[in-house]
A and B are shown apart, each in its own frame.
Chain A
Amino acid sequence: EAGVAQSPRYKIIEKRQSVAFWCNPISGHATLYWYQQILGQGPKLLIQFQNNGVVDDSQLPKDRFSAERLKGVDSTLKIQPAKLEDSAVYLCASSARGQLNTEAFFGQGTRLTVV
């Protein structure tokens, strides 16, 4: 079974530029998450999708961050314009719908550096 795929693995941009990250979840997984992990901290949820609908985006800085999951499969997270404090690893995860104790599977993340 293929895991959660993310690209790119690394990205360096200048502040005020825009950037996009892509995630392909495990086939059949209805729930998709984007987490932000700042260096030295634990991951923090940015947004959760159930199929193509948003379940929780309360911690997403909506003035600069946006995310979509068209057709309920792949997802894209965008930052525009980027700030220095957006430097972090962006992790995508997915889980199957159903049992409440279903495990979330993570991708390898995208390391973003804003200079």
Chain B
Amino acid sequence: AQTVTQSQPEMSVQEAETVTLSCTYDTSESDYYLFWYKQPPSRQMILVIRQEAYKQQNATENRFSVNFQKAAKSFSLKISDSQLGDAAMYFCAYRSPIHNAGNMLTFGGGTRLMVKP
């Protein structure tokens, strides 16, 4: 079974600065998908960014980018120019390539990000 670990329970960043959230995972599969989700106090999980394991290029979405190290099984999220609205819980998630798995996600324990004005 796959496991996802987020070793930072809490992180804080000054507004407009850059912060990196860490995630490691364990799998024996060679092809899979990785995601970062944001969960604000409203509780709704919002997709931030996704990475296909077969792609060597790191995914980027505006101020959000990832550092995907397949051999090290590491998948960190970098948030540039942090904004107050970025404050939330962030979850790293893994999805198997097995077709019947659909979109079943295995989540890490989360990192609470605080943004200081």
What is A's interface to B at a CB cutoff of 8 Å? 31, 33, 40-45, 48, 50, 55-56, 89, 91, 93, 95, 97, 100-104, 106-109, 111
Across-interface contacts of B97 in A (CB, < 8 A): 100
14 further interface pairs, Cβ-Cβ under 8 Å (given A42-B108, A103-B47, A104-B105): A31-B103, A40-B110, A42-B109, A42-B110, A43-B91, A43-B105, A48-B102, A95-B103, A101-B50, A103-B50, A107-B44, A108-B42, A108-B44, A109-B43
Question: Contact between A56 and B104 (Cβ–Cβ < 8 Å)?
Answer: yes
Which residue from chain B places its CB closest to the CB of A49 in the assembled complex? B102
**CA distance in complex: A16, B1 (Å):** 32
- Nearest neighbor of B44 in chain A, beta-carbon distance: A108
Q: Give 1 or 0 for each of B37-67: 1 = CB within 8 Å of chain A CB.
A: 0000011111100101000000000000000
Interface residues of B (CB under 8 A from A): 4, 6, 33, 42-47, 50, 52, 91, 93, 97, 99-110
27 A–B pairs (Cβ distance < 8 Å), ordered by A: A31-B102, A33-B103, A40-B109, A40-B110, A41-B109, A42-B4, A42-B108, A42-B109, A43-B45, A44-B107, A55-B100, A55-B102, A56-B104, A89-B43, A91-B45, A100-B33, A101-B33, A101-B50, A103-B47, A103-B50, A103-B103, A104-B47, A104-B103, A104-B105, A107-B44, A108-B42, A108-B43
Contact B91 A42 (CB under 8 A): yes
What's the nearest-Cβ distance from chain A to residue B37, in Å? 8
Within the assembled complex, what's the spacing in Å between the Cα atoms of A97 and B93? 20
Q: Within the assembled complex, what's the spacing in Å between the Cα atoms of A103 and B105?
A: 11
By the criterion CB–CB under 8 Å, are A102 and B103 in contact?
A: yes
Complex interface: chain B residues within 8 A of A93 (CB): 45, 103
A15 smallest CB distance to B (angstroms)? 23
Interface centre among A56, A93, A95, A106 (most CB of B within 10 A): A106
What residues on B are CB-neighbors of A33 within 8 Å?
102-104
